[in-house]
Each structure stands twice: as structure tokens, then as C-alpha cells.
């Protein structure tokens, strides 16, 4: 993720609309890319991952897109619900079994 100082970038979407959260990663050698959700006052929760040899992966209401050419990762949430309000951050796993690098995150606000 990009550094934006002390303030998280915020995305506000209307309930029922689709949300797209973006992330730029740094290591072209990373073999997995991951999205986490962190609700206020809670720890991060794994949402979905994608292997570096894929460009799209779908889960339940979520889709992750990977563009290795520009080192870009996105998370699409379909029919956004109030319960989706949280901070979402990407991470990359670059080999070595402990090396997971976490991004800063984007705050998603769902407007009822």
C-alpha cells in the first residue's frame, strides 16, 4: 500500500453498490497476495488470497484482481452491506515462511 501519512484513505459507498479497494504492492517476487478485513476494535481477519500465477479469484461477494504488470491488486465487494464497514488492507507473501508484508489499509464506509 502507499504511504498516506497518519490518515487512512477512505472510500464511502452507498449500501447496495459495489466497492473497489485498491492496493499497490512492492515486491514482484511475491508469490501470494492477500486481503484482510479489520473491524473497529478487532484484529485483522483473512478474506481472500490469490496466487501470483492467477489474475482473478472469486469468493463469496468478493473478487480479487491481480495486475502484475503494474503491481496492482484490487478487492471488489459486490452489493456492499453495512457489515462491510471496516479497514481493508492488502498483504504480500514473498517467500520465506515468515515474510508477510502488510499494507496500510483503506477505510470503507457504507452509507445506509
83 binds other proteins (CB under 8 A): no
Q: Which residues of 31-47 are buried (b: 16+ CB within 10 A; e: fewer)?
A: eebbbbbeeeeeebeeb
From the list 11-19, 62-70, 71-79, 93-101, the region that binds other proteins by CB under 8 A is: 93-101
50 binds other proteins (CB under 8 A): no
Distance CA 13, CA 81 (A): 9
41 binds other proteins (CB under 8 A): yes
Calculate the dihedral angle through the C-alpha atoms of 35, 37, 38, 40, rounding to the nearest 10 degrees. 150
Closest distance to other proteins from the beta carbon of 79 (Å)? 26
69 binds other proteins (CB under 8 A): no
Q: Measured from the CB atom, is 44 or 110 closer to other proteins? A: 44
Cell of 24: 499497490
27 binds other proteins (CB under 8 A): no
Amino acid at each position: 500500500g502507499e504511504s498516506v501519512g497518519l490518515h487512512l484513505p477512505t472510500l464511502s459507498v452507498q449500501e447496495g453498490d459495489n466497492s473497489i479497494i485498491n492496493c499497490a504492492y512492492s515486491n514482484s517476487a511475491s508469490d501470494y497476495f492477500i486481503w484482510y478485513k479489520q473491524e473497529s476494535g478487532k484484529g485483522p481477519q483473512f478474506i481472500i488470497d490469490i496466487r501470483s500465477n492467477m489474475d482473478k479469484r472469486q469468493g463469496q461477494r468478493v473478487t480479487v484482481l491481480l495486475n502484475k504488470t503494474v503491481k496492482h491488486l484490487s478487492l471488489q465487494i459486490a452489493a456492499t452491506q453495512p457489515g462491510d464497514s471496516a479497514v481493508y488492507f492488502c498483504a504480500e507473501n514473498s517467500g520465506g515462511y515468515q515474510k508477510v508484508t502488510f499494507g496500510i489499509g483503506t477505510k470503507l464506509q457504507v452509507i445506509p
